[in-house]
């Protein structure tokens, strides 16, 4: 059996298996470590998946279905779950993934508020995206972090964000070969910077892993998946779905644009939170880097990526705006969950961190 | 060989005046301080602040979005 082990130099996967969150994720996690030959049971699982989709009151907050989707995408990413590599393109699993994705996308299209469409030209699209993403004057997670988060809450924030950030940029990179011309070049210009401009130690995911180690946290991918609520998985699953489906290339570009446009100012606030508690530049490097980098990326993403795509493939304009607002909506919910938990004096984690899970620095 | 209608060869310096935002600088441009010392540059494309409010000058940090900076119709 070949295994989905990380190659040397990659962040390694945590050894512990994820805890299942219901029958679907339990069946998948039980099946994947075994060789593909043991794929009986997939037909039954597919029926259970259909039933779970029909029964869920809200797939966007469904722990079992979102963890299942996360595990299935993990077969494409690698270093997420211990699995026989041959499962990646198993038609039965692809069909199950497709069923969950259809329900997931339908829920997103229903719940993400529609945005008025600008004319399909670069400047108008950039302007509309900057307007949609403009900083709010109200309370926000990043302002809370800057002003009053405790050391423990900062650790929690880093844990919550690690589910995406240890794979930073990867979901959108699935979109690169699905674009052409100016939009592809723009995506590459941004992603090259995300991946450190050819310097592995400057890769944003690597800088983040370093931040985790400095805070005494486990930087192996997936180490804290058991701790995070469904909405944190939903956030990553959404961009994975946008990136992995060519049909949704408009959404992945809109998503990236909104992500970049809402990063620089919050990153400064996050950095301020760490500085307030006495942490140095080694710890704030990740946030400082994003203050500068994303002030560049947001300009490229607005005009050269989303704007060019809208000019070159105007039929994608609605999905560009949909992807952008989906990012703001879902990531907004994920942030609101953390903020509301803290304001109520609770942890935002699903399972509190056992002392042993905080390794010493 | 230049392709017909090709606007800007790669690496040629190109500065984009972004509406209501920074100057986006691409290509082979040397950035130096007033005393001629090179300014640290860690990425291929940089955004230079033109609103005056950035905390990481000469680079843009997005603050122009908080101050309502506008470049007007002339850029
Ligand atoms: S132009 Fe962006 S902060 Fe000044
Ligand atoms: Fe980044
Ligand atoms: Fe970025």
Structure tokens at B1: 């060989």
Among A98, A87, A86, A109, which Cα is nearest to A49's?
Answer: A98
Which CATH number among 1.20.910.10, 1.20.58.2030, 1.10.10.10, 3.40.50.620 corresponds to the domain A122-357? 1.20.910.10
What's the half-sphere exposure (Cβ side, CA atoms, 13 Å) at A213?
13
Q: What is the pLDDT of residues A332-341, one digit of tens each?
A: 999 999 999 9
**Residue in chain B lying closest to A298 (CA):** B62
In a domain? residue B4:
no
User: Under an 8 A CB cutoff, do A299 and B42 touch?
Assistant: no
What's the half-sphere exposure (Cβ side, CA atoms, 13 Å) at B75?
8
Spatial CB neighbours of A36, under 8 Å, sequence gap ≥ 6:
A84, A86, A87, A90
Structure tokens at A149: 């988060």
In a domain? residue B35:
yes
Cα–Cα dist A345/A284, whole Å: 25
Structure tokens at A1: 């059996």
Strands B23-26 and B46-48, how do they pair? antiparallel
On whether the CB atoms of residues A146 and A346 are closer than 8 A, the answer is: no
Q: What is the pLDDT of residues A265-295, one digit of tens each?
A: 999 999 999 999 999 999 999 999 999 999 9
CA A299 to ligand 3 centroid distance, Å: 10
In a domain? residue B9:
no
- Total domain count for chain B? 1
In the predicted model, residues of chain B with pLDDT beneath 50 are: 1
Residue nearest to atom 2 of ligand 1 (CA): B60
Backbone angles phi, psi at A27, to 5 degrees: -65, -45
Among A337, A307, A346, which Cα is nearest to A120's?
Answer: A307
The CATH number of whichever domain residue B59 belongs to comes to 3.40.5
CATH 1.20.910.10 domain residues, chain A: 122-357
User: Under an 8 A CB cutoff, do A135 and B18 touch?
Assistant: no
The structure's pTM equals 0.93
In a domain? residue B26:
yes
In a domain? residue B1:
no
Give the mean pLDDT of A324-347: 97
Cα–Cα dist A309/A59, whole Å: 30
> CA torsion A138→A143→A144→A148, rounded to 10°?
-130
Q: ipTM of this predicted complex?
A: 0.90
The residue range of the domain holding B24 is: 14-70
Helix, strand, coil share (%) of chain A residues, nearest 5: 70, 0, 30
Spatial CB neighbours of A355, under 8 Å, sequence gap ≥ 6:
none
Residue of A272, A296, A305 to mutate for B, most B C-beta atoms under 10 A: A296
CA A291 to ligand 3 centroid distance, Å: 9
In a domain? residue B34:
yes
What's the half-sphere exposure (Cβ side, CA atoms, 13 Å) at A137?
3
Among A153, A110, A282, which Cα is nearest to A213's?
Answer: A282
Report how many Cβ contacts below 8 Å link chain A to chain B: 62
Among A78, A118, A159, A160, which Cα is nearest to A336's?
Answer: A160
Q: What is the pLDDT of residues A38-94, one digit of tens each?
A: 667 888 999 999 999 999 999 999 999 999 999 999 999 987 787 778 899 999 999
User: Under an 8 A CB cutoff, do A295 and B22 touch?
Assistant: yes
CB contact, 8 Å: B31 with chain A?
no
In a domain? residue B8:
no
- How sure is the predictor about A8, in pLDDT bands with cuts at 50, 70 and 90? very low
Q: How many residues does chain A have?
A: 361
Q: What is the pLDDT of residues A130-174, one digit of tens each?
A: 999 999 888 899 999 999 999 999 999 999 999 999 999 999 999
In a domain? residue B61:
yes
Which residues on B lie below 8 Å from A303 (Cβ)? 16, 18
How many of the other CB atoms lie within 10 Å of CB of B51? Answer: 18
Rg (CA), chain A: 20
Q: What is the pLDDT of residues A191-234, one digit of tens each?
A: 999 999 999 999 999 999 999 999 999 999 999 999 999 999 99
Give the pLDDT score at A285. Answer: 98
Cα–Cα dist B22/A255, whole Å: 22
Give the pLDDT score at A86. Answer: 86
Rg (CA), chain B: 14
Give the mean pLDDT of A24-50: 87
């Amino acid at each position: 059996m070949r295994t989905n082990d990380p190659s040397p130099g990659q962040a390694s996967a945590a050894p512990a298996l994820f805890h299942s969150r219901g029958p679907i994720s339990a069946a998948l996690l039980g099946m994947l470590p075994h060789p593909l030959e043991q794929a009986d049971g997939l037909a039954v699982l597919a029926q259970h998946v259909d039933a779970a989709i029909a029964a869920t009151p809200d797939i966007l907050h469904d722990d079992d279905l979102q963890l299942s989707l996360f595990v299935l995408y993990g077969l494409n990413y690698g270093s997420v779950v211990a699995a026989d590599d041959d499962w990646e393109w198993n038609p039965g699993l692809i069909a199950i993934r497709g069923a969950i994705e259809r329900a997931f996308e339908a829920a997103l299209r229903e719940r993400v508020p529609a945005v008025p469409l600008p004319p399909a030209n670069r400047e108008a699209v950039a302007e509309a995206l900057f307007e949609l993403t403009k900083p709010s004057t109200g309370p926000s997670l990043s302002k809370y972090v800057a002003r009053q988060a405790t050391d423990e809450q900062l650790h929690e924030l880093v844990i919550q964000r690690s589910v995406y950030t240890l794979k930073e940029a990867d979901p959108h990179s699935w979109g690169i070969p699905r674009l052409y011309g100016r939009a592809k070049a723009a995506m590459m210009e941004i992603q090259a910077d995300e991946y450190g401009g050819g310097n592995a130690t400057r890769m944003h995911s690597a800088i983040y892993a370093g931040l985790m180690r400095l805070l005494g946290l486990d930087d192996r991918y997936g180490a804290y998946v058991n701790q995070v609520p469904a909405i944190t998985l939903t956030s990553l699953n959404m961009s994975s779905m946008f990136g992995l489906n060519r049909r949704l290339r408009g959404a992945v570009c809109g998503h990236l644009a909104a992500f970049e446009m809402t990063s620089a100012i919050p990153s400064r606030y996050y950095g301020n939170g760490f500085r307030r508690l006495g942490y140095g530049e080694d710890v704030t490097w990740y946030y400082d880097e994003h203050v500068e980098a994303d002030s560049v990326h947001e300009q490229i993403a607005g005009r050269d990526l989303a704007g060019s795509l809208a000019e070159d493939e105007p039929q994608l304009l609605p999905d560009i705006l949909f992807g952008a607002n989906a990012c703001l909506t879902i990531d907004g919910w994920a942030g609101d969950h953390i903020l509301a938990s803290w304001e109520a004096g609770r942890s935002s984690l699903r399972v509190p961190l056992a002392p042993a899970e905080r390794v010493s620095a | 060989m230049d392709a017909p209608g090709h606007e800007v060869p790669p690496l040629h310096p190109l500065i984009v005046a972004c509406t209501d935002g920074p100057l986006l600088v691409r290509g082979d441009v040397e950035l130096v301080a007033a005393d001629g010392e090179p300014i640290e540059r860690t990425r291929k494309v940089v955004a230079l602040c033109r609103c005056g409010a950035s905390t990481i000058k000469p680079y843009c940090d997005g603050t122009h979005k908080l101050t309502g900076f506008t470049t007007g119709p002339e850029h």
